Amino acid sequence: MKKILFIILSIVFATNAIANQPKEWQLGFQNAASEGMRDIVNFHNNLLLPIIIAISVFVLFLMIYASVRFRASRNPNPSKTTHNVAVEVLWTLIPCLILIVMAVPSFKILYKQDTIPKADLTIKAVGYQWYWGYEYPDENVIFESYMIKEEDLKENQPRLLAVDNEVVVPVNKVVKVLITANDVLHAWALPSFGVKRDAVPGRINETWFKAEKVGTYYGQCSELCGIQHAFMPIAVRVVSDEEYAEWLSDAKVRFAKEPILENENKKIASK
**Cα(208)–Cα(193) distance, integer angstroms:** 9
Do the Cβ atoms of 122 and 140 come closer than 8 Å? Answer: no
Quote the pLDDT of residue 249.
Answer: 93
Please tell me what DSSP assigns to residue 198: E
Quote the pLDDT of residue 262.
Answer: 52
Q: Identify the three-state secondary structure at position 27.
A: coil
Residue 189 forms beta bridges with which residues? 196, 220
Q: Give Cβ neighbours of residue 147 (< 8 Å, ≥ 6 apart).
A: 131, 160, 161, 162, 163, 231, 232, 233
Q: Identify the three-state secondary structure at position 165.
A: coil
pLDDT along the chain (271 residues), means of 10: 48 42 79 91 94 95 91 81 87 94 93 92 96 94 94 89 95 96 95 94 95 93 92 95 95 78 44 42
Quote the pLDDT of residue 6.
Answer: 44
Detail the DSSP E strand segments found in the chain. Answer: 121-128, 131-136, 141-145, 167-170, 174-181, 186-190, 195-199, 205-210, 215-221, 233-239
